[in-house]
Amino acid sequence: MDTFTQSHLTGVAALSAEEIDTILERAQYYADQLADASYRSDLLKGKTILSLFFEDSTRTRVSFEMAARRLGADWVNIDIDRSSVNKGESFLDTIQTLLAITQPHGIVVRHKEYGAPDFIAAHAPCPVINAGDSWREHPTQALLDALTIKQHKGTLKDLRIAICGDIAHSRVAASNMILLTKMGGDVRVIAPEALMPDKLAAEGVTKFHSLEDGLPGCDIVMMLRLQKERMEQSAIPSEAAYFNEYGLTQDKLALAKPDALVMHPGPMNRGVEIADDVADDPHRSLILKQVANGVPVRMAVMDLLLNKP
């Protein structure tokens, strides 16, 4: 029996380990179906998904759209840059106007404000899925990362996972810390003092300040982009100095387990947090597999939320 009782997905914090397993199993089912590139289902036929991206996105928006279309849903993408938000309309008035016009069965939202998806969920008559809010949470990214790890390591339990880079400004780091500790992973974060938050998003995560100290024994090395758009002022001396200390090169990767795998949610800044030959290493890098897994994971989430019995 599948376990899933959520009405919205605004963060992984609200999910139980059983619900995460349910999503990952359903996602693996869709990943298998998608091996046939012409796969289509009618599961969401006649349903409308409203896409509200108030922040830039390539992979997340496109994979949500692919997922909705693969399940037969109608996808309505609002070009927020050209909407009445720019004419002084309140956020709630914009949302209520779009709800009245589109009558959606589901909403996908990305917003720079902390908690914006929960605010919309409080006013919407349908499930809301968070595609990333401020530095708080990005639940479907953590779920697709978990699926990718499971496919390559067989389990999430007892794996040692290092999340490295701009921990302070990363919603991907936050959602991953919460999900991976919940699933029994041994999670550590590695960052310079200026990019390490005082309080981490999950309990039981260990802090390190150098790759040399943090990488030994790791099964997974997850790199993060420097979120310059969220930094008060430049928190790092220079990109070259940062790369020298915190950039993942083959030499640094050799500190982890010999079969350690490399991840990055994208977009990558090559030569800042990751060297070209690591990002493109066909034996060690899972980066393109992560992006591809965005589609089946988002299919699973939309299916479970919109087709609740």
Residues forming contacts to ligand NCD in the complex (CB under 6 A) are 59-60, 132, 138, 141, 171-172, 225, 227, 265-267
Active-site residue identified among 47, 110, 169, 284: 110
Active site (annotated) includes residue 264: no
> CB–CB of 296/30 below 8 Å?
yes
Question: What's CA 95's distance to the chain center, in Å?
Answer: 24
Closest approach, Cβ 170 to ligand NCD, in A, equals: 7
Closest approach, Cβ 226 to ligand NCD, in A, equals: 8
Closest approach, Cβ 163 to ligand NCD, in A, equals: 12
Backbone angles phi, psi at 3, to 5 degrees: -110, 115
Which is nearer to ligand NCD, 47 or 248 (by Cβ)? 248
Buried b (16+ CB within 10 A) or exposed e, 87-100: eeeeeeebbeebbe
Active site (annotated) includes residue 199: no
Give just the sign of the alpha carbon dihedral 95, 98, 103, 105. negative
Q: Rounded distance, CA 161 to CA 188, Å?
A: 6
Closest approach, Cβ 189 to ligand NCD, in A, equals: 15
Helix (H) or strand (E) run with residue 109 in it? strand 106-111
Closest approach, Cβ 282 to ligand NCD, in A, equals: 21
> CB–CB of 279/285 below 8 Å?
yes
Active site (annotated) includes residue 59: yes
Which is nearer to ligand NCD, 171 or 188 (by Cβ)? 171
3-state class (DSSP) for residue 2: coil
Task: Say which residues have a Cβ less than 8 Å from residue 192's Cβ, sequence separation at least 6.
Answer: 209, 235, 236, 242, 245, 246
Q: Rounded distance, CA 275 to CA 295, Å?
A: 27
Active site (annotated) includes residue 138: yes
Which is nearer to ligand NCD, 127 or 294 (by Cβ)? 294
Which is nearer to ligand NCD, 141 or 181 (by Cβ)? 141
Which is nearer to ligand NCD, 70 or 225 (by Cβ)? 225
Active-site residue identified among 8, 105, 111, 138: 138
Active site residues: 59-60, 87, 110, 138
